[in-house]
Structure 1
Amino acid sequence: MFKQIPLGPIQTNAYVLYNEKKEAIVFDPGAEGQALVQWLNKETLKPIAILLTHAHFDHIGAVDEVRDAFHCPVYLHEKEAEWLLDPALNGSSRLTGRTLTTARAADHLLGEQKTLTLGDFTFSLYHTPGHSPGSITYYYKEEDVIFSGDVLFQQGIGRTDLIGGNQDVLLQSIHQYLLTLPESTVVASGHGPLTTIGAEMDHNPFLAAY
């Protein structure tokens, strides 16, 4: 089971995946940390890890609040190890009139490993750069869902005009890894509604043109 929770001024989707034991994985806690912690406590969920799809500012704003409230480790791709600490890398320094966004360093850096097991949860990991150099897609086969951050959206793809972005690389990542998954696979994107691999194969204009 998972819950989609849009947070912050850009309505970045955080996701909470949980099981019958009330253990939870929190993906991309981007803002409104106090509200997110309150919701988790209300639902009596026990986060055992925070998984970041990438480290842009709108995906990391509540990382430390959730980490400190539940004493759970943060996972991030090694290619973005410094991004939590650096507003120039995570993009928050580009925005005028907003507080710079930072967080403490990740507890665990992910490299080229293909799987990650946390408690009763096992994920297949796909390094899917293009939107950012360390973007990771987490596939949870038990529920046929990917948590893909800003790689793929309903009839859209991630922007590629930020540091390390490259549209050709992004499209290659999507075709190499995501479009090889079952068409029924739910795409839990970083912004906007849920979609499926099959729907994007049929209707996404960016993929059709590749």
Structure 2
Amino acid sequence: MNWERIPLGALQTNCYVVWNEKNQCLVIDPGEEGEKIISFLKDKQLKPLAILLTHAHFDHIGAVDVLRERYSIPLYVHEKEAKWLLDPALNGSQLFMMGEMIRLKPADYVLTSEDTLQIENFSLELFATPGHSPGSISFYIKEMNAVIAGDTLFMGSIGRTDLPGGNHKELLASIHDNLLVLPEETAVLPGHGPETTIGNEMDSNPFLNGF
């Protein structure tokens, strides 16, 4: 199993492409610059199977419909943020006024619980990690020894909680209960910035000290 981090847009939001030996892939959080993602998929000769969202803030969803129209692939999002795709006031594109307001087509699949999501031979464990936003989820891929954590946990930091639906106490509980229980060598692939590991954040993240 292989993966690539592709920073996109003004906020350099990390899009992740995960692919297998059959050159099938998943695209996670395509925030902007759809043509840049398409170019990467062409260069690697990858066949996308689905788009997954860690959450539905504007900087994580901007290229969703570009990819759906190009490849006719389904979109997965948590039920608590399914309506955010259609509403610029909820997804933040209206608040931040960075370019056009984002109104997407409805999701094809709405995730309702913590479970294992199976797409072809991709197996992803879903962890509810609210706090940054109500429907934030993290995707743990055991075979890859990595968790794609969205804006929940960063290298040396945590997600902001001052946006609508954010909750600092809930965010810390999500990290402690669902992420820090993973093996310490697990790679953390965040929504912005470089990757880290669970062990590194347990040892040195100042926001987690004493929790």
Structure 1 segment 167-206 matched on structure 2, within 5 A:
167-206=168-207
Tell me the alpha carbon deviations over residues 95-129 of structure 1, each in whole angstroms, 9 at most, x when there is no partner.
24632122111100001141100011001110110
Structure 1 segment 130-169 matched on structure 2, within 5 A:
130-169=131-170
Q: Is the 8 A contact 2:13 2:59 kept in 1?
A: yes
Q: Displacement, 1:38?
A: 1.8
Q: Displacement, 1:13?
A: 0.1
Residue ranges of structure 2 left out of the alignment (5+ in a row)? none
In structure 1, what is the equivalent of residue 107 of structure 2?
106
Query: Structure 2: how far apart are the matches of 1:182 and 1:113?
Result: 19
Ranges of 4+ aligned residues in structure 1 off by more than 6 Å? none
Q: Is the 8 A contact 2:85 2:105 kept in 1?
A: yes
Structure 1 segment 38-77 matched on structure 2, within 5 A:
38-77=39-78
Query: Structure 2: how far apart are the matches of 1:97 and 1:80?
Result: 20
Query: Structure 1: how far apart are the matches of 2:97 and 2:174?
Result: 32
Query: Structure 1: how far apart are the matches of 2:90 and 2:51?
Result: 20
Q: Which has the higher mean CA deviation after the structures are superposed, 35-44 or 183-192? A: 35-44
| Number of aligned residues | 210
TM-score, length basis structure 1: 0.98
Q: Counterpart amino acid of 2:166?
A: G
Q: Counterpart amino acid of 2:42?
A: N
Q: Which has the higher mean CA deviation after the structures are superposed, 32-41 or 122-131? A: 32-41
In structure 2, what is the equivalent of residue 122 of structure 1?
123
Q: Which has the higher mean CA deviation after the structures are superposed, 155-164 or 90-99? A: 90-99
Q: What secondary structure does 2:4 align onto?
A: strand
Query: Structure 2: how far apart are the matches of 1:193 and 1:75?
Result: 24
In structure 2, what is the equivalent of residue 29 of structure 1?
30
CA RMSD of aligned residues (A): 0.9
Percent identical residues: 55
Q: 1:97 to 1:2 in 2, by over 3 A?
A: closer
Residue ranges of structure 1 left out of the alignment (5+ in a row)? none
Q: Is the 8 A contact 2:132 2:166 kept in 1?
A: yes
Q: Counterpart amino acid of 1:83?
A: W
Query: Structure 2: how far apart are the matches of 1:193 and 1:96?
Result: 26
Tell me the alpha carbon deviations over residues 52-97 of structure 1, each in whole angstroms, 9 at most, x when there is no partner.
0000000000001111111110000000010011010001111246
